[in-house]
């Protein structure tokens, strides 16, 4: 058992080192699945119950730029601020990256809003900042950056 844990740590450290010294764009580590393997099937089964209408996207936009403060890290244009003073580790995601948009299902993105992306500055927002319903609206806006 200790052997297995040691092996895991080597993997985690190698991953962190790789990420720190590589750039965000076209980085395979960006596309790498964030949801743990034992939860991925469940997360992928979650479907956004709200249609992508201009009104619903507008609701998400207000939250993104307002009380959910996504804008502070992901930027007004959704491209993700590069180096943020005091922010260590992975950079905020660039939502205009079409490869990334294709790589993720809506359910995986909701999982991130529920759990955060462990080991990064991406924190959980549900339920403290956003209700699940609000989060689905924000995700419609996140998807709109990919169009």
Chain residues that interact with ligand HEC, rule: CB under 6 A:
34, 68-70, 72-74, 90-93, 104, 108-109, 112-113, 117, 120-122, 125, 138, 142
Other CB atoms within 10 A of residue 31 CB:
14
Other CB atoms within 10 A of residue 126 CB:
18
Q: Which is nearer to ligand HEC, 3 or 86 (CB)?
A: 86
Cα–Cα distances in Å, from 69 out to 64, 72, 98?
6, 6, 23
Q: Which is nearer to ligand HEC, 6 or 8 (CB)?
A: 8
Q: Which is nearer to ligand HEC, 6 or 39 (CB)?
A: 39
Q: How far is the CB of 43 from ligand HEC (least distance, A)?
A: 10
**Distance between CA atoms of residues 108 and 118, nearest Å:** 14
**Distance between CA atoms of residues 80 and 94, nearest Å:** 5
Element (H, E) at 51: none
Q: How far is the CB of 3 from ligand HEC (least distance, A)?
A: 27
Q: How far is the CB of 7 from ligand HEC (least distance, A)?
A: 22
Q: Which is nearer to ligand HEC, 7 or 69 (CB)?
A: 69
């Amino acid at each position: 058992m200790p052997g297995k844990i040691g092996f895991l740590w080597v993997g985690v450290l190698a991953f962190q080192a790789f990420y720190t010294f590589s750039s965000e764009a076209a980085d395979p580590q960006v596309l790498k699945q964030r949801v743990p393997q034992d939860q991925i099937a469940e997360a992928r089964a979650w479907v956004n119950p709200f249609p992508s209408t201009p009104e619903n996207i507008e609701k998400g936009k207000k939250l993104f730029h307002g009380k959910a403060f996504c804008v502070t890290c992901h930027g007004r244009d959704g491209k993700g601020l590069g180096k943020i003073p005091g922010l260590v580790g992975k950079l905020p995601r660039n939502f205009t990256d079409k490869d990334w948009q294709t790589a993720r299902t809506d359910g995986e993105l909701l999982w991130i809003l529920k759990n955060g992306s462990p080991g990064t500055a991406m924190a959980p927002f549900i339920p403290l900042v956003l209700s699940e319903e609000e989060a689905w609206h924000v995700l419609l806006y996140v998807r709109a950056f990919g169009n």
